[in-house]
Amino acid sequence: MISSPSGEKLGVRSSDLPSLSSSGAELPSEGIEWERQAPAWSAAGAGGTTVTGTPRRAFEAAEMPRIDLSLGDEVAHATLGEGVVTALSGDGTVTVRFREDRSERRLVLGYAPLTKI
């Protein structure tokens, strides 16, 4: 236990203050609106509605124009830089090995800002 120069005890919670639950007081119910927001990552249409009946809002990225790619094509990404296509999937994804950090990243064609070099 620590005491201040005036003798007051520090680090001790005072239990003599009334709480809302012990005093029987309640928050007024009028003017309070309850709404549960959908997380930004939830899929569009998968979440239904909020408790108040409003439709859930899902994150939607602007769709980019799809480009025709083949293995070995050189591409440029807006933030990751230049790289080489190392894999293509039938589900609309492409794997690119980027030159600067030598990382391989799987990107969704139509959303990834890629251009063919």
Give residue 109's pLDDT. 87
Q: Is the pLDDT of residue 7 over 80?
A: no
Give the span between the Cα atoms of 85 and 80, in whole angstroms. 13
The structure tokens listed for 30 are 């009028």
- Domains belonging to the chain, first-starting first, are 36-63 (no CATH), 74-116 (2.30.30)
Q: Is the pLDDT of residue 22 over 60?
A: no
Give the span between the Cα atoms of 100 and 83, in whole angstroms. 8
Length of the chain: 117
Under the banding of pLDDT at 50, 70 and 90, the label for residue 112 is confident
Give the span between the Cα atoms of 108 and 70, in whole angstroms. 15
Q: pLDDT tens, 27-51?
A: 667 776 766 666 655 555 555 666 6
- Residue 38 CB: number of other CB atoms within 10 A? 19
- Which stretches within 1-117 are classed as H helix? 20-23
